[in-house]
Structure 1
């Protein structure tokens, strides 16, 4: 495969596999080291990630409504309908984790609430769904969205045929080969590690549900069979092609998932869920900036470090996958459309599902008489999620439908990750942004290998999750580099007469003209 950059692909795969093996061989030592590194990152850089992420939200909205928002990314018409476009962004970003954590997070927040509330109190209940919506809302989707703008601008406007992250950073940090390779390997590692963690969670949930539904043993054989099913489905999607594969799977999955959520809403206590949703939105709007910048320096409960900052660093680690995937599907759209669709469709979609499933979990625990927190204590969150789904009417059929939706949500994320890593490691992309089929299939196989290794290596995934968050810290600073790079490039577009000037002078002229 002449078009594959082996110098990036192979070291990244080997690094993830090596970390899995080492962390499973020395589980206590590796987990302690990873936890210490994560604690260091959140302690010393947590305040920066909160300030920087909030600033990024403001920057993107400014960019969308400035004159630069009208810049079209390519001369063609948009390739996908608005529904398909928003659906692909949504499913690629949330995977199967949304409903899982949409149920789990409110339960954790009831037990260990934020902002000095008493456990299982009215205040804790008011914060439970609110904080879940916040963590899956505007800020997270802004972090996901931003890299797509410089990537898409470089590919569709400047006609660059390679989309390595180091290529965009070169205008600021230079073209030193060691620095460039470090940036690219860090980006691929973040994508693979974050994806491996998400897949491990999904397979664990699917195996628990299938075991409950079919009465079979929940073990390595069942988990391996589910991963094999993922691999076969992924190969089919890759061979069918992007438009008939990922796009169609995303459309059907979103449609069925919405229908399933509406069934949960109207077959449970819809009055409570709708009122709780309204109250949660009000609480979040009233406290958005407080929640965005809360570091808890006096009480030191650890809540912002363990939840908000953890989420933000995780999103930064995942940036390349989402940035490149959004780039691939954004040809013909304006910068304004990319920003507003990504942030609105992503955050509104998450709000919709969390409000229903999180609201149902809160009702079940506090009013409905279902011991959701006891289920979590006895069997873990996966057991609690499966048990809660079984409280709905036609429990076996609904559980089966729930598992099918989870499978296809994860398949869409898996497909997106393989496309993104293939784009990142392709030496020269085609005009439509599609990597070679051989490169995509190679990454599908690599992702399958990592997926199998996650379960063969047992507890190594916890170390990978911690290191993934740690990897998000340098990626946060790379965001700052990308912002500066984008400002320089957009300034050059609007001031052609200044293109021969030094980059510093171009940027100064651009800022003066705002």
Structure 2
């Protein structure tokens, strides 16, 4: 993801208060608790694992349903908002227009989704579901299992994730560009709290936002290390173990911290374009080299099944079992999206100033979701074809080592060495660009919303992010990453639910105060133009 969020917008300036860079209680509290957590994970690893495991079971068994209800509720709210008269309100002044053309904006949206998850889960999730179909809905390694495998992959990486990001992006863009508030999560609650957003309650909200972002980033770093380690193991014989993964995290942390400190936005932008190009080339290669007709048919059928079962999947809990599966997949995925909400929301707001609410929602919900669906269908579908019809054992290799799934698939197609090298390079670039931007956002959120956080602050958050990822990897690998992100995201889930209500309150207040016929009042601009034309 590019560092677009650091620059200023054309046609307007950021709120003056956002440039203070003040270090206060949010910074010191966040750093202090993060340091305590790292020490706990390092010196009392067994205790950490026991506490997070028991907390995970309590959180998911007692409140797992809340992840389903809140994310679906936000999605319904956004669709309603897009088609309401408020949809014509702009993220900015009424005279503002988009800084970026629609094709450029869509390209940046796709850049935002090009993350380590594409490599980590693009094959691993569908092939795992083929071998162990979700909720026992099919027999393993059957036609129905293949369809269900992609159906649930679409669910985990589609509309629900982008609804979380979109509501954050809308609220932050509206609050910052239209209301002139600081780009902090706490400021989104001004309609409810008034001046109290600057007090202890608001600071508590910002601290929770920092921790959700920190653990979401640490999880991505851990997954990225697994991918890079497996790729380097295949290419150069590097041992695939925790020591190698720690070294990889350390090296990448040094790179993205240096990038964040020096502000080499041009270099990061170039890397983002490079990653998009490499991902496109790899995708086209697999589409051509793979079983193309099979992939197209599987894609169409799985999309139909996903659409038909959408609301059932969205509300299917654990009243009759399935808690362990939900912890490993749906609950973890939803918690991961929640933890990334503030970061991706800030990025989306930054590139969307001047766009209408309707255009923003339609673009953010549909474009990235379709990109993920297509990627999973091509790479996951190719792996499914290998295992079902070519005697492959990709599912078994994935069960043995989750990070090996993508490379195990490439082994069955031409130019394995080249495609594996491209995948490793792609993972490294995703690694660096996302972590670089995340470090910037953490620095901004703990610097009173400053758009230019101090270098020592950026260095500190870069180091803390890397150290947190290492501590969790050494504690219990992928399980520790998953457990921690679920447990720590629950309080932030409550904040997201309240944020949506607060945003609606802000919109309602604004529309009542606007003169009849102004943009965003009924009838909206589009309806008025149609009425005038008909007259």
**Does residue 133 of the first structure (1) align with residue 178 of the second (2)?**
no
3-state SS of the aligned residue for 1:459?
helix
- Offset from partner CA, 1:227-247 (integer Å, 9 cap, x none): 4245335534664554x3544
Report the CA distance shift for 1:226/1:197 in structure 2 as closer, same or farther (over 3 A).
Answer: closer
Match of 1:469 among 483, 486, 489: 486
Residue 347 (str. 1) matches residue 394 (str. 2): no
Query: Given the superposition, is the C-alpha separation of residues 6 and 390 from structure 1 closer, same or farther in structure 2, using an over 3 Å criterion?
Result: farther
Equivalent of 1:72 in 73, 90, 96:
90
Distance 1:9 1:224, change over 3 A: farther
- Cα distance in 1 for partners of 2:462, 2:260 equals 14
Structure 2's unaligned 5+ residue stretches are 1-18, 516-535
Note the alpha carbon deviations across 1:170-211, whole angstroms, 9 max, x for none.
Answer: 432462733222211111001011101111110221022113
Name which of 241, 247, 252 aligns with 1:224. Answer: 247
Q: 1:223 to 1:82 in 2, by over 3 A?
A: farther
Once residues 216 and 131 of structure 1 are traced to their aligned partners in structure 2, the CA distance between those partners, rounded to angstroms, is 34
Question: Deviations 1:329-356 (Å, cap 9, x if unpaired)?
Answer: 2222222222122111210111121111
1:450 aligns with 2:472: no
Question: Residue 480 of structure 1 corresponds to which residue in structure 2?
Answer: 497
Deviation at 1:142, TM superposition (A): 0.5
Structure 2 counterparts to residues 6-17 of structure 1, below 5 A:
6-17=24-35
Instruction: Say whether 1:402 aligns with 2:420.
Output: no
Distance 2:57 2:27 in 1: 30
Q: Is 2:311 the partner of 1:289?
A: yes
Report the 3-state secondary structure (helix = DSSP H, G, I; strand = E; otherwise coil) of the residue aligned with 2:122. Answer: helix
Aligned residues: 489
* CA distance in structure 2 between the partners assigned to 1:8 and 1:493 by the alignment: 30
| Matched position secondary structure for 1:108 | helix
Partner of residue 19, structure 1: 37
SS of the residue corresponding to residue 333 of structure 1 reads: coil
Q: Over the residues paired in the alignment, what is the CA RMSD in angstroms?
A: 2.6
Alignment of 1:495-510 (within 5 A): 495-496=512-513
Structure 1 residues 8 and 258, CA gap change in structure 2 (3 angstroms)? same
- Per the alignment, residue 40 of structure 1 pairs with 58
User: Structure 1 residues 76 and 142, CA, compared in 2 at 3 Å: closer, same or farther?
Assistant: same
Distance 1:339 1:132 in 2: 22
Q: 1:267 to 1:428 in 2, by over 3 A?
A: closer
Partner of 1:109: 129
What is the distance in 1 between the residues matched to 2:264 and 2:354? 20
How has the CA–CA distance of structure 1 residues 134 and 200 changed in structure 2, closer, same or farther, with 3 Å as cutoff?
A: same
Instruction: Give the TM-score, by structure 1 length.
Output: 0.87
Looking at structure 2, the residues matched to 321 and 295 of structure 1 have their Cα atoms a distance apart, in angstroms, of: 28
Structure 1 unaligned runs (5+)? 430-434, 499-514
TM-score, normalising length from structure 2? Answer: 0.84
1:265 CA displacement: 1.3
Q: Given the superposition, is the C-alpha separation of residues 250 and 340 from structure 1 closer, same or farther in structure 2, using an over 3 Å criterion?
A: farther
